[in-house]
C-alpha cells in the first residue's frame, strides 16, 4: 500500500496548476509552429493550411509532426489538471468536458502521427474532429457549466457560426486555404479555456 501511495504522489503532479499548464501548452505550440515555419523555408504553407508544414519527408516536416505528437501528450496532461480544476469549482459534468479535451489531445497526436502526405482522409478526419469536439464543448456549456455571463454563450455560438462558414468555404472549394479557420479555432479555444479557468466557484 505504501508503494502505491508513493507512486500516486509521483504521477499526480500536485504542484502544477491548470493555469500554468495552459500557459506552457500555448507557448509550446506557438514555438513548435514558429520553428517549423522557419525551418521549412516555404512561404506557400500559409496558402494552404498549418498541416502543410508536416507534409513530405524533410527535416522541417518531421520536426513539425514530432512536435504535434509531443504536444498531444502535453495537452492530455493539461486536460487531467483541468479536470481537477473543474471538480474543485463544482462543475456539473466535468467528465464530459474532460473527455472532449482528451479527444482533442488524441487528435493532435494523430495529426502528427498521420500527416497529410501519409493520407489526406485520416489526417483531415482528425483535424475536423478537433473542431467538432470544441463545438460540442461550447454547445453543452450552458448545461455542463451554467452560471457564465449570457454574452459568453452568445459569442460562443456566433464565433462558431463564423468558423463554420470558413470551413464550408474550404470544403466547397471556394477558398483554397484552411489556415484562417485553423488559426481562429486555436485562438478561440484558448480564449474559451482561459475564461473558464478564471472562475472561482460554480454558480449553477
Please give the Cα distance from 22 to 97 (Å, whole number). 15
Contact 153, 192 (CB under 8 A): no
Q: For the chain (length 204 residues), average pLDDT per consecutive 10?
A: 44 68 94 89 70 82 92 95 87 88 95 81 83 86 77 79 80 73 83 78 50
Please give the Cα distance from 173 to 56 (Å, whole number). 23
Per-residue pLDDT, 47: 65
Contact 136, 160 (CB under 8 A): no
Query: pTM of the predicted model, to two decimals?
Result: 0.82
The CA-based dihedral angle spanning residues 90, 75, 23, 80, taken in that order and rounded to the nearest 10 degrees: 30
Per-residue pLDDT, 48: 66
Per-residue pLDDT, 168: 83
| Domain ranges, ordered by start, for the chain | 19-197
Burial readout 161-175 (b: 16 or more C-beta within 10 A, e: otherwise): eebeebbebbeeeee
Amino acid at each position: 500500500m505504501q508503494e502505491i501511495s508513493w507512486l500516486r504522489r509521483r504521477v499526480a503532479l500536485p504542484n502544477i496548476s491548470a493555469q500554468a499548464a495552459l500557459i506552457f501548452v500555448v507557448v509550446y505550440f506557438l514555438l513548435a509552429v514558429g520553428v517549423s515555419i522557419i525551418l521549412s523555408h516555404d512561404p506557400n504553407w500559409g496558402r494552404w493550411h498549418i498541416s502543410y508544414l508536416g507534409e513530405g519527408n524533410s527535416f522541417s516536416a518531421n520536426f513539425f509532426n514530432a512536435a504535434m505528437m509531443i504536444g498531444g501528450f502535453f495537452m492530455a496532461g493539461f486536460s487531467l489538471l483541468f479536470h481537477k480544476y473543474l471538480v474543485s469549482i463544482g462543475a456539473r459534468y466535468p467528465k464530459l468536458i474532460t473527455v472532449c479535451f482528451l479527444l482533442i489531445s488524441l487528435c493532435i497526436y494523430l495529426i502528427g502521427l498521420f500527416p497529410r502526405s501519409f493520407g489526406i482522409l485520416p489526417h483531415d478526419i482528425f483535424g475536423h474532429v478537433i473542431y467538432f469536439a470544441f463545438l460540442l464543448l461550447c454547445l453543452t456549456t450552458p448545461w455542463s457549466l451554467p452560471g457564465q455571463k449570457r454574452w459568453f454563450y452568445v459569442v460562443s455560438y456566433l464565433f462558431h457560426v463564423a468558423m463554420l462558414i470558413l470551413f464550408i468555404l474550404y470544403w466547397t472549394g471556394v477558398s483554397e486555404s484552411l489556415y484562417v479557420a485553423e488559426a481562429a479555432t486555436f485562438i478561440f479555444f484558448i480564449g474559451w479555456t482561459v475564461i473558464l479557468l478564471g472562475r472561482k466557484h460554480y454558480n449553477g
